[in-house]
Amino acid sequence: MDDKRKETAIVPEAGQKVTFSGNLGYILAVAGSAVGLGNIWRFPYLAAKYGGGIFLLVYLILMLTFGYALMVSETALGRMTGKSPVGAFQSFGNQKWLTFGGWINAIIPMLILPYYCVIGGWVVKYAFEYLRGHADAIAADGYFGAFISDSLGSEICFAVFLIAAFFVIVAGVKNGIEAVSKVIMPLLVILSVITAVYSVTRPGALAGVKYLLVPNFSQFSLMTVVAAMGQLFYSLSLAMGILYTYGSYLKKDSDIEKNTTQVEIFDTAIALLAGLMIIPAVFAFSGGDMSTLKAGPSLMFITLPKVFDSMGFANVIGSVFFVMVLFAALTSAISLFETSVSTVTQELGMKRLPASLLILGTSLLLGTASVLGYGAWDFVRIFGMQVLDFFDFLTNSMMMPISALFTCLLILRVTGRETIAEEVRLSSQFKREKLYYFVIKYLAPAFLIVILLSSIASVLGWIQI
């Protein structure tokens, strides 16, 4: 592998020993995995659903304390051990809890990939329909609902997206896709800025800007915190082993503290931009109607087409936008896929092709369940949730807190906070060391346990959050 390719690899292929050749390469790679549907699709709908400004405030506070500490820890542990999560945990001993800690990190991407591809399929459908010039039909009321309840149609879109990711993985053209997406991403940012400005300046939209940016404390609930925490994990690709893996490719002189801060800023900026595109539009087009605000996963697919429709040239703008989102989603799906494949090859000793087929197979099965959950299996509720929502809740609100808890335990009981700090200080000033110590020892464990218990209690119907 030559130097040029090293720099563009987002998740290097299993078995290759790679280091990033520069800070920029690393930041782009981590940002590439961080920025995806989580920012553009998931953040706006959660912010709309859980109280707007108050959600944003809780999210920011969590990110600066908790997200920061966890991100630094995972990266430092990865760099220190030079291993992905299972190996990293096991390099400190072979007790059962260490093995479990490594595996729970490694399994999460395998559970996210299927439903990520279902949403990816929705993006495929929208990109395709806009390219065919169907902007009017897409903007019509009820379009999205009709589409997802047609199981066959959405299954095809899901399969197209998943199989595209699969081919990229087995054909080894991943770096090509990633190079393209590096050009596309800045364009996506520019188009998003234009759309956000347009959306914010619609009559009536200002109420939406206020809703998103100004905290209203009466909207606060425990669920605001649970949802913000889940989003933090999801959006920064935390608590699922990704940063261990990236950290293991990182050179000793690369500034962990600075890189972390930059990725956090970038990721949040994109999420905010998407929020400004979508939430004010809900107010402009439906007067901030509560049922639209609480639409959940479908929000982006319902409001944006209406914005585009009123902008004029809807087919052009819609095509450009959804094709770009498709790329952002595809690069994230590819790295979810790659991470899953490398866990299977490294830990189960399988060859690359069978491992890829195995992940493809499980993803097809689990993803199909999510697709059917909106269509033929519409009546199915798992703990009161639709199938896709259930997978999302299971990974983000239950498994990720557990996996983050294991990272904290590893640090508190085995390595010691000082060892992590030393690793960070090799290349950074570590200005927020005191904050780091406090968060890892007190705030994070206490908080994670509260989150976990309240998620469990809500699933069992004991509390309404």
Q: Which residues contact 45 (CB under 8 A, 6 or more apart)?
A: 278, 295, 296, 297, 298, 299, 300
Binding mask 19-58 for ligand TRP (x = CB under 6 A): --------------xx-xxxx-------------------
Site membership for ligand TRP, residue 229 (CB under 6 A): no
- The correct pick among 177, 242, 323, 341 for binding ligand TRP (CB under 6 A) is 242
Identity of the residue, 39 or 81, whose beta carbon is nearer to ligand TRP in the bound complex = 39
Site membership for ligand TRP, residue 273 (CB under 6 A): no
Site membership for ligand TRP, residue 237 (CB under 6 A): yes
**The one segment of 92-100, 232-240, 382-390, 408-416 that binds ligand TRP by CB under 6 A:** 232-240
Using alpha carbons, select from 286, 249, 298 the residue that is nearest to residue 122. Answer: 298
385 phi and psi angles, rounded to 5 deg? -115, 155
84 near 241, Cβ under 8 Å?
A: yes
Site membership for ligand TRP, residue 109 (CB under 6 A): yes
Using alpha carbons, select from 325, 445, 376, 412 the residue that is nearest to residue 92. Answer: 412
Site membership for ligand TRP, residue 119 (CB under 6 A): no
Site membership for ligand TRP, residue 234 (CB under 6 A): yes
Binding mask 332-351 for ligand TRP (x = CB under 6 A): x--xx---------------
- The correct pick among 199, 235, 356, 407 for binding ligand TRP (CB under 6 A) is 235
- The correct pick among 112, 307, 320, 405 for binding ligand TRP (CB under 6 A) is 112
**The one segment of 90-98, 178-186, 331-339, 364-372 that binds ligand TRP by CB under 6 A:** 331-339
Residue nearest to ligand TRP (CB): 38
399 near 111, Cβ under 8 Å?
A: yes
Side-chain-facing half-sphere of 163: CA atoms under 13 Å: 6
369 near 158, Cβ under 8 Å?
A: no
Cα–Cα distance measured from residue 35 to residue 128, given in angstroms and rounded to the nearest whole number: 22
Does residue 237 sit in helix, strand or coil?
A: coil
CB of 337 to ligand TRP, least distance (A): 9
Side-chain-facing half-sphere of 43: CA atoms under 13 Å: 30
CB of 329 to ligand TRP, least distance (A): 7
Identity of the residue, 55 or 198, whose beta carbon is nearer to ligand TRP in the bound complex = 55
Dihedral angle of Cα 413, 414, 419, 424, to the nearest 10 degrees: -90
CB of 414 to ligand TRP, least distance (A): 25
Site membership for ligand TRP, residue 192 (CB under 6 A): no
Identity of the residue, 118 or 314, whose beta carbon is nearer to ligand TRP in the bound complex = 118
Alpha helices in 41-150 (DSSP H): 43-49, 53-62, 68-81, 85-90, 96-131, 135-139, 143-149
What Cα–Cα distance (Å) separates residue 263 from each residue in 6, 95, 186, 258, 457? 20, 34, 15, 9, 33
Q: Which residues here bind ligand TRP, judged by CB under 6 A?
A: 33-34, 36-39, 109, 112, 234-235, 237, 240, 242, 332, 335-336
